[in-house]
């Protein structure tokens, strides 16, 4: 079975590509190597994939002509690529073009793959809104450009399923962390500040935020199970994440313990659209996929600290 993974040089996409290849799938990757963060980090991920026989093609999914560089023989497409985060430095046009326009063009391409069995859209808990504690049946209320644009992309994909044009699903991921996490994300940045004795900027009140911090390996487990059980997932939305929550301060305390030092914090103004609570409701994933995240926050952060020290 041949799988196309978009965003394959990114954090979660690179892990998924590796694991799917280990499971016996033939994996091809695509990524635009955006400068949203240090491109050399994405290149490292792509190099690691290439060493394992997974080629990552550089294409911009917003460019219709770019798809000429891809084959038309994929049985599965996993769409990770998109504009991430809720940074005030991003423009609405970035979210719209990367998360909506690119998704529609990729769907057009998917229809050209006559043997396509399933299209998986990688979504986010941000579509739920300021609190993400709900089952998949609850109406989304996104509160950021990121959440709005990801929901729009999700609906484009599910519309293909509703019209019987394509078998498709959406996987909503919750607060993923671990090795290869982007440098501006909570734990990579926190670990970096601790190792380098730098001040860590924390948004006002965020230390009290509750999160379903989910180790990337547990997320990939769910994605692989979804691919394997794709036959029962057409039109479905599935939450993937840890079904326990931790305050951000707990994570900070664990990183300080692992590093054996206190990290100086600098409080920054609150971010608009930042979620106050996420708790993955995974009853559906447990029922359909036998999904069972098992990595504790402390163990996951230990692995992330080790990765950072080896790769800084």
Distances in Å between the Cα of 45 and the Cα atoms of 13, 39, 55, 114 are 10, 10, 11, 30
Pull the structure tokens for residue 283.
Answer: 């009853």
Phi–psi pair at 239, nearest 5 degrees: -80, 135
Indicate the burial class of 253 (C-beta count within 10 angstroms; 0-12, 13-18, 19 or more).
middle
Q: How far is CA 19 from the centre of its chain?
A: 15
For residues 147 and 123, is the Cβ–Cβ distance under 8 A?
A: no
Binning the chain into helix, strand and coil, the percentages to the nearest 5 are: 45, 20, 40
| Active site annotation includes 146 | yes
Helix 11-22 and helix 216-228, axial crossing angle in degrees, nearest 10: 50
Residue in 146, 215, 291, 308 annotated catalytic: 146
**Residue indicated by tokens 């206190």:** 262
- Alpha carbons 213 and 216: distance in angstroms, whole number: 9
Nearest C-alpha neighbor of 20 from the set 7, 6, 2: 2
Contact 89, 131 (CB under 8 A): no
CB distance 240 to 289 below 8 Å: no
Among all residues, which ones are annotated catalytic? 146
């Amino acid at each position: 079975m041949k799988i196309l993974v978009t965003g394959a040089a990114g954090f979660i996409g690179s892990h998924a590509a590796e694991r799917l290849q280990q499971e016996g799938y033939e994996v091809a990757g695509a990524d635009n190597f955006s400068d949203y963060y240090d491109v050399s980090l994405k290149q490292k991920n792509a190099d690691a994939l290439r060493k394992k026989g997974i080629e990552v093609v550089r294409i911009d999914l917003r460019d219709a002509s770019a798809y000429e560089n891809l084959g038309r023989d994929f049985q599965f497409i996993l769409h990770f690529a998109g504009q991430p985060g809720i940074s005030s430095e991003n423009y609405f046009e970035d979210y719209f073009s990367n998360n909506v326009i690119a998704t529609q063009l990729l769907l057009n391409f998917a229809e050209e793959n006559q043997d396509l069995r399933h299209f998986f859209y990688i979504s986010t808990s941000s579509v739920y809104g300021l609190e993400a504690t709900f089952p998949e049946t609850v109406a989304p209320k996104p509160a950021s450009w990121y959440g709005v644009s990801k929901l729009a992309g999700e609906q484009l994909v599910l519309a293909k399923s509703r019209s019987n044009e394509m078998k498709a699903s959406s996987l909503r991921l919750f607060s993923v962390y671990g090795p290869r996490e982007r440098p501006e994300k909570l734990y990579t940045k926190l670990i970096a500040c601790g190792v380098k004795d730098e001040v860590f900027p924390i948004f006002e009140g965020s230390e009290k935020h509750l999160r379903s911090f989910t180790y990337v390996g547990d997320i990939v487990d769910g994605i692989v199970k979804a691919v394997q059980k794709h036959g029962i997932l057409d039109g479905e939305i599935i939450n993937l994440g840890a079904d326990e929550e931790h305050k951000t301060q707990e994570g900070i305390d664990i990183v300080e313990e692992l590093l054996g030092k206190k990290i100086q914090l600098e409080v920054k103004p609150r971010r608009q659209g930042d979620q106050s609570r996420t708790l993955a409701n995974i009853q559906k994933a447990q029922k359909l996929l036998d999904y069972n995240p098992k990595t504790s926050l402390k163990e996951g952060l230990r692995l992330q600290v080790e990765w950072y020290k080896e790769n800084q």
